[in-house]
Structure 1
Amino acid sequence: MFQKILIANRGEIACRVITTAARMGIKTVAIYSDADVRAKHVAMADEAVRIGPAAVAESYLQGQKIIEAALHTGAQAIHPGYGFLSENPDFVEAVEAAGLVFIGPPASAIRAMGLKDAAKALMAEAGVPVVPGYHGESQDPDFLAAEAGKIGYPVLIKARAGGGGKGMRLVEKPADFMDALAGARREGQASFGDPTCLIEKYITHPRHIEIQVFGDGHGNVIHLFERDCSLQRRHQKVIEEAPAPGMPAGVREAMGRAAVEAARAIGYTGAGTVEFIVDGSGPLREDGFWFMEMNTRLQVEHPVSEAITGLDFVELQLRVAAGEPLPVRQDDLTVDGWAFEARVYAEDVPKGFLPATGRLEHLHFPSASAFEAGPVRIDAGVRQGDEISPWYDPMIAKVIVHGPTRSAALNMLSSALEECRIVGSVTNVELLAALSRHGGFRRGEVDTGLIARDMAELMPASEPSFQVLALAALGGLNLLGAEEGSDPWDSLVGWRHWSAARQFVHLESGGRCIEAQVTSLGQGRFTVSVMGETVTLNMMGLGGPTVRVEVDGHQFNADIVCEADRVSVFVSGRSFSFGLADALSEVDEEQAAGDTITAPMPGLVRAVYGRPGASVTKGEALLVLEAMKMEHTLFAPRDGVVSEVLAAEGEQVTNGTLLLALEPQDE
């Protein structure tokens, strides 16, 4: 077994590998960019080596520097994690040429599965069913459009070197094909250095079910059952589960057999995942699944499979890479209970899942035992006080639960998500909690279109209740932090001798300024008048930001987190954030009238369509912004004339940067 390994990755997966390595007595070396100098994975490792500036291309993709770091520190092997260089066969060969061990499959297997078109041809030869489509070399747009017509709409355009939803476009009618192809090519080039695309038939009620496989250097290949990853937004996974709901034994056996044959066909070793698109229009059947692609690495969602098998997949990776045979055979494996994983991201759900940034001023997760068979597990690559930067994936953590049944595990997931408290960036936690309570999902009725189809139900527009506003007012005035002593004057916060203690605070929410009047009654009791309502609250501390609140004989818990210019309230599984407004401030009228286009998040200006003097109509595409390797189109908020274009293609911009200005059209 290795004595020291280097992890060629960052964030959550680096922390995950370090944890298992430490348990096995293996020393670890982390690498870091300038943006990650104080990152969690750097602090957890025994040693750490700076690899370059913040940009991925200048740091985490610098294979030769990573190999040199491994050699310099005496590491014997390199674990690639997922993403970055994990599926780069040239890097694998360079690692091995340097006398190091690559903890993953051979370069030949990665090459065989690295390009979707070639992989599908190989799988068809091996007898694995594949989705109908065009996987050839021709990239002439008119030819591809003609092929799409032959396949029949709707179709999916996919960058052949893609993954994680990047370089993928759903096209429902011929008129949209050319624009979608151009966007897929740009993302393929930006993310993978390859703009080549393939066209596939889109299954109208698709389920995304994948099979975990493992191979060793002794000819053994096994599967570790399936995961259902159908809950997706923008072709990216949101909640995964294992096993898949409604999976008959015969279909599980057929899919597992196909996955093992796929791995054997390319001489696979280590951890891998064979992904299938499955017809979810009715009961699952043995002739209703097709090969999509193989991920030749550990997957983000591997913890759910670990939970139901009781195995540590990173440990298996290390043992296989060290030359040991797999310690289990297919007949040894059984499914134990049910597991879910919810991916907590810094992203603005109402704004179309735009990635977000920010400093994590407050971070709290439910109690967890990281790698034991406990009911809740938290895999996180950040700590309180860390920054979510625009340079890398905006994942904050993965919340994993394991229960005896699907229903029990879903209840646990819902409870665990409601306990999450994150301040400093908008997140998708409320959406995840809503999904865990969604009636169709709870019944196992899931397909990849569920989120888009039921978004209004999952995230209904709602105003904060006056009780929430009252709690925010108390937090905004810092009336919850001081402990009362024996002196009766201690209870009179803001006291005036001619009346009861009374203060005012202005809360900012949704562009509105809301005035609240707070009167202290002493002994933790307050009356708050806001939005035409008056409520009396009795506050009973529980420690930290958590308070026990009594209103009209009803008690409940709430978390109130205060910052210099903002207060956040968490109650009943919902979160609300309020700016502490200057009562004299006014909303900028020009921006409110929709006269400007500003960057909704940090990113790279990929395309500028608007030109000074050009007339535009409401909804017309004006710019394309790329963030976290995904493209986001910005549209005209109203009819008008472009008066100024303040951004150029290739320019890196920050959140809120003014990009383009409009003026009214002449009558």
Structure 2
Amino acid sequence: MQQNTNLYFNNPLIHKDRRLSKSPSKWISSFSCEELKPLIVCRGPIRKEAMDVYEEMGISHYGILLSEKDSIVYPNALSPELRQLTDTSRVHRVPDYTGASKEERIERIQQIISIAIDNGYDSVFAGYGFMAEDDEFVAALENAGLRFIGPCSGTQRAAGKKDEAKRTALQVNVSVTPGVDNVTARTLLKKNKTREQLRELVKAEGLDLDPKLINDKDIALEDLADAILFASYSKGIDLISIEELGNQVQYECAEMFKKYPGARIRLKAIGGGGGKGQRILGASLLMVKQPTEKQIQEAAAAAPGLVREILGEVKANGVGDNKNVLIELNIEQTRHNEIQLLGNGQWCIALGGRDCSLQMHEQKLLEISVTQEGLAQEIAKAKKARNSKQVKALESDLTVLKRMEEESERFGLAVGLDSASTFECIVDGARHYFMEVNTRIQVEHRVTELVYSLKFTNPDNKNEFFIVESLVEAMALLALHKDRLPRPERVPRFGAAAEARLNATDASLSPSAGGYILYWSPPIEGEIRDDQGISTPNPDTGQFMFYHLAGAYDSNIALLLTKGEDRLDSYNHLSKVLCSTILRGRNLATNLKFHYGLVNWFIGNNVMAKPTTRFIVPYLTLVGKLKEEAQKIDIVHAFLSAKKHYGKLFADDAEGAKAASVALDRKGTLLTRPMEMLLNDPHLLSGWLSLNKCNYRMEQGKIVWLRNPLLVLEDTYRYLNMDWRADAPAAEVIWTHDRDLLADALAFYAKLREKLSLTAQDFVKLNDMLAKDKPQGGYDKETWARIQSAHAGYEIGNELLGLLFLVAEHTNFYDLKVEEDLEVTIPEYLHDTDLQAAMKKILVPPPSTKADEIVSPGGGMYYGQEAPGLPPFVSEGMHFEKGQPLFILEVMKMFNKVPAPFSGTIDKILIDSGDGTIIQKGQPLFKVTPDEKFVEVDPQEIIRQKQAQTNAYLEVVL
């Protein structure tokens, strides 16, 4: 176990090893967990992490559970941990983890219990999957005499269900989001309006309910209805239909639209999580200050369909399932903050926060640590810089963080939290609202581990303690020694941490299943990579094993983490990790470049910025505009045009014209190779433009360089991971002759700056000095002339780099910015849904198709109807409008309604209309007759247009 303070070393009373039994201290060794025998019933990076931590703790008898979706064949392995756990007696299999229905879920729970008991396991660890917060699963384990390494069933019931958690939060004075948490009870009361009717219902259905409860006139009808519903779940019957529930949700939404004009409403399944089981409605009312009754009813009419989607997504649509749905005001400009909690039922400790605002489809992408120490450090920096607005913004964040930590500990004690959980909030300026508690370890838990460790001290001897740096380890300790563990002290480790979720998604962040990873570069120094063991080579050959990104699970491939002294340091480390990561594969799409561009956008603006959960889609839209504009530039044409330009410039000077031509030819690939890479990848371009925005200015319609473009070029090669490496393929690095030319130029300017007493930031001043006929810096006239000639040769053609800045200028790229108070300004037009959809197609053009066909935009599972028993979206002979849903495509657990790209008529359905059919990207689904005739564009005309646009750009830079 690593430590970072000399205090911990050379002291026999302080233990640093995860094998606590090794300590000479009886008190410390008494907390050994080597007798624990856990069965790991989860998958993904957390399974591999648990295996590693358990082995480090000396836990030798652990096993893992595989579903039939987990391949055990190395070439296609979805379970690469099998390269590490080669004892087949500790590998167990079930058809799937949770079952597709309530009956299957009950069957699976019993199957898991049998596997555990039959194979000598005494406990179960479920990671951060849905089984980790299933109170029925946990209760069944407890009843079978097994430990659950996580919160007990009582805590799960009190905190894990979103409706119960919200009610508990209100009771302990925790700020909550406005809304309705008992719509199922209200639905039941719509049918049974009086206490007598409810009493008759209980009798007619034979429900097991305390008679005192039924006859208690002091209990509110809604509370009684709730109790009756819970009794019906136990019996496995439905007292309300999904249709009745949908109608009640529709009514409640309409009432909330009236109460909160100009806002949208969020619907959430009480057992959802990770983006599943959530929908937002009311986009048409957003910013409408006084909606009409008709507008309200039209917006609310979407509710029943969304309720069906939500319940289907979280598998809560079976008979006897709790179908409650939270109806909440959607706080529009919010940040998503969460507090890591740990408790033993008697004490609860908050371990700082994480900002998870950078997300899309309700799924997190980039997660950043938020600690009191870190904010205090940034406040001190802002005060030193005399940035009063930033000081005020950071002080507000610190106040909110302290309040959230206090409330989270209060909530944890109220529900008897006895393991790890996460208290999630939305932050709106200086206010915050409790959202939910995830009664499990989180995907991003390592972000917290990097900023805090836990110090458990002997209450009878303060010099006797042990340090825990892993939440997985802490959960095991709590499972075995819960009551004995004293309340720990949180000890700061590193100043900040960051985590990027590497996902199998395309450039628009849509899931992309089916690819193969054929090569993954090794982690660099300082990189923490949780990848489920994908990077673990074949134990026999040492070779990298191909990995199939099948669509059976979510899109996450790995978690990439870094740490630093402060947030900027952690961002810079993360940028280096992303830059150095090389992934090669077949049909492989990841969000690696997206992350690289995004991280550098923040580095170039301000890493302490406060983006909201609405940031990513506008940002992606702007990146799409970058690509649209970049596609108008023909870099080869630009270079040849530059040669012609200088030829005309030296028309009366044959020697000068020849020298200019030679100099340009020498620099051809030096300039064009990195420029082509940036123009071909808008995510890379976004990061580059953000980092370099301070290196130029526009002056009278021309670009003026504020820094030597050759220094920018050097940084660009480094940014693209193309700086010289002797062992790298030539295609991936700067070419030798370009490297030598750039090195000579940089050495020339370094020596010249030294002689003229200038810094690298004095490029404008240097240019002015070199324009003077009179020698500067003590040079003689002849030497000065040679210096001027060399300067002209080194700088010629560098103007072409300015084309990249013109892409930013023409797209208003820099209008998306961070203000002094750290708020992010998003231009209003970037919220336009039509523009967002158009730019999504620019980022990832749809598959080529015939004019009379509609094809699948990606691979996945096809559903022709919204839910079983409902009519299909389309039928043969039916007319459809542009934007109308045609089918649902499930990809990596995401359910996407695919809209019609144009209006037309369905002539023939080319696919079996039955649900659950696997389809491929580009597969024809419908033969259609479009309403409008498509006109093909002449390819030569496209080339002419690109060259014309390039010429217009060149007039600005040359």
- Check the 8 A contact 1:31/1:49 in 2, yes or no: yes
Distance 1:538 1:203 in 2: 45
Cross-structure match for 1:115: 161
Return the alpha-carbon distance in structure 1 between the equivalents of residues 494 and 848 of structure 2: 59
Contact 2:338 2:423 in 1 (8 A): yes
> Aligned in 2, Cα 1:538/1:76: closer, same or farther, shift over 3 Å?
closer
Whether 2:533 is the aligned partner of 1:378: answer no
After TM superposition, where is structure 1 displaced by more than 4 Å over at least 4 residues in a row?
58-61, 324-332, 462-467, 537-541, 543-547, 587-590
Residues 223 and 664 of structure 1: CA distance in aligned 2, closer, same or farther (over 3 Å): closer
TM-aligned CA distance change 1:99 to 1:202, over 3 Å: same
Quote how far apart the aligned CAs of 1:604 are: 4.0
Pairing 1:587-606 to 2, within 5 Å after superposition: 591-593=849-851, 595-598=853-856, 600-605=858-863
Match of 1:498? none
Task: Report the Cα distance in structure 2 between the residues aligned to 1:398 and 1:555, rounded to whole angstroms.
Answer: 38
Counterpart of 1:25 in 2: which secondary structure? coil
Distance 1:332 1:52, change over 3 A: closer
Query: Is 2:161–2:270's contact at 8 Å kept on the other side of the alignment?
Result: yes
Quote the residue 1:149 is aligned against. Answer: 257
Is the counterpart of residue 215 in structure 1 residue 343 in structure 2?
A: yes
Whole-angstrom distance in 2 between the partners of 1:296 and 1:538: 46
TM-score normalized with structure 1 length: 0.77
Aligned to 1:455: 620
In the alignment, structure 1 residue 662 sits paired with structure 2 residue 934: no
Q: CA deviation at 1:180?
A: 5.2
Amino acid at match of 2:69: A
Give the number of the structure whose residues are more often helix, by fraction. 2
Helix, strand or coil at the partner of 1:131: coil
SS of equivalent residue, structure 1 residue 322: helix
Q: CA deviation at 1:606?
A: 5.4
Structure 1 residues 151-177: Cα deviation after superposition (integer angstroms, max 9, x where no partner): 422221222221111122222224343
**Out of 429, 432, 437, which is 2:600 matched to?**
437
Segments of structure 1 that go 5 or more residues without pairing to the other structure are: 369-374, 468-509, 511-536, 557-586
Deviation string, structure 1 residues 19-43 (Cα, Å, up to 9, x no partner): 1001011122011123322412333
Q: Could you tell which deviates more after superposition, 288-297 or 174-183?
A: 174-183
Q: Distance in 1 between matches of 2:847 and 2:438?
A: 50
SS in 1 for 2:356: strand
Question: Partners of 2:847 and 2:437 in 1: how far apart?
Answer: 52
* CA distance in structure 2 between the aligned counterparts of 1:211 and 1:364, rounded to whole angstroms: 33
Check the 8 A contact 1:308/1:335 in 2, yes or no: yes
Distance 1:103 1:26, change over 3 A: same
User: Does the 8 A contact of 1:541 with 1:547 survive in 2?
Assistant: no
Is residue 231 of structure 1 aligned with residue 389 of structure 2?
no
**SS at the partner of 2:131?**
coil
Per-residue CA deviation, residues 504-552 of structure 1 (Å, 9 max, x unaligned), is xxxxxx9xxxxxxxxxxxxxxxxxxxxxxxxxx9998515798544175
The unaligned stretches of length 5 or more in structure 2 are: 1-32, 188-244, 286-295, 318-322, 376-393, 454-468, 536-544, 637-679, 681-721, 742-844, 866-871, 934-958
Alignment of 1:576-595 (within 5 A): 591-593=849-851, 595=853
TM-fit CA distance, 1:349: 3.4
Name the residue aligned to 2:367.
240
Q: Does 1:32 align with 2:66?
A: yes
1:425-461 deviation line (CA, Å, top 9, x unaligned): 2011111111111245624221111111221334532
Give the letter for the 2:436 counterpart: E
SS of structure 1 residue aligned to 2:366: strand
1:159 and 2:159 matched: no
1:343 corresponds to which of 501, 511, 516: 501
Q: Distance in 1 between matches of 2:915 and 2:152?
A: 37
State the Cα distance separating 1:597 from its structure 2 match. 2.5
SS at match of 1:653: strand
1:426 matched to 2:586: no
Which structure 2 residues correspond to residues 32-431 of structure 1 after superposition, within 5 A? 32-36=66-70, 37=72, 38=77, 39-45=79-85, 46-47=87-88, 48-53=90-95, 57=99, 62-137=108-183, 138=187, 139=245, 140-152=248-260, 153-171=263-281, 172=283, 173=285, 174=296, 175-179=298-302, 181-194=304-317, 195-217=323-345, 219-243=346-370, 246=394, 248-280=397-429, 285=430, 288-310=431-453, 311-324=469-482, 329=487, 331-334=489-492, 336-350=494-508, 353-367=510-524, 375-381=526-532, 382-383=534-535, 384-424=545-585, 425-431=588-594
Partner of 1:477: none
CA distance, structure 1, for counterparts of residue 926 and residue 303 of structure 2:
24
Hey, what's the Cα distance between the residues in 1 that align with 2:730 and 2:156? 49
- Separation in 2 of the partners of 1:405 and 1:423? 32
Give the alignment's TM-score, normalised by structure 2: 0.54
Distance 1:604 1:6, change over 3 A: farther
Report the structure number with the largest CA radius of gyration.
2
Deviation at 1:3, TM superposition (A): 3.9
- The code of the aligned residue for 1:661 comes to K
Which segment drifts farther, 388-397 or 167-176? Answer: 167-176
How far residue 361 of structure 1 moved from its aligned partner, in angstroms, is 1.4
Q: 1:639 to 1:24 in 2, by over 3 A?
A: same
Please give the per-residue CA displacement for 1:591-619, whole angstroms capped at 9, x wherever unaligned: 14362232512124152412211122332
Provide, for residues 299-319 of structure 1, a one-character-per-residue CA deviation record: whole Å limited to 9, x for no partner: 000010000013211110000
Q: Check whether the contact 1:625–1:631 (CA below 8 A) recurs between aligned residues.
A: yes
SS, match of residue 314 in structure 2: helix
Contact residue 414 and residue 433 of structure 1 kept, 8 A = yes
Q: Does 1:653 align with 2:921?
A: no
Distance 1:24 1:538 in 2: 42
Matched residue SS, 2:69:
helix
Deviation at 1:624, TM superposition (A): 1.7
Against the structure 1 CA distance between its residues 56 and 122, is the aligned structure 2 distance closer, same or farther, given a 3 Å change threshold? Answer: closer
SS in 1 for 2:132: coil
Letter in 2 for 1:73: N
Instruction: Please show how residues 10-29 of structure 1 align to structure 2 within 5 Å.
Output: 10-27=43-60, 28-29=62-63
* Matching residue of 1:612: 876
Residue deviations 1:83-126 (CA, integer Å, cap 9, x gap): 13111111112212222211011101111123222221121011
**Could you tell me how far 1:141 is from its partner in structure 2?**
3.9
Q: What SS does the aligned partner of 2:735 have?
A: strand
**Aligned-residue offset at 1:626:** 2.4
**Separation in 2 of the partners of 1:83 and 1:465?**
48
SS in 2 for 1:454: helix
Alpha-carbon contact 2:846-2:857 (below 8 Å) kept: no
SS of residue paired to 1:149 = helix
More displaced 10-residue stretch of structure 1: 7-16 or 132-141: 132-141
Q: Pick 1 or 2: higher relative contact order, CA cutoff 8 A, min separation 6.
A: 2
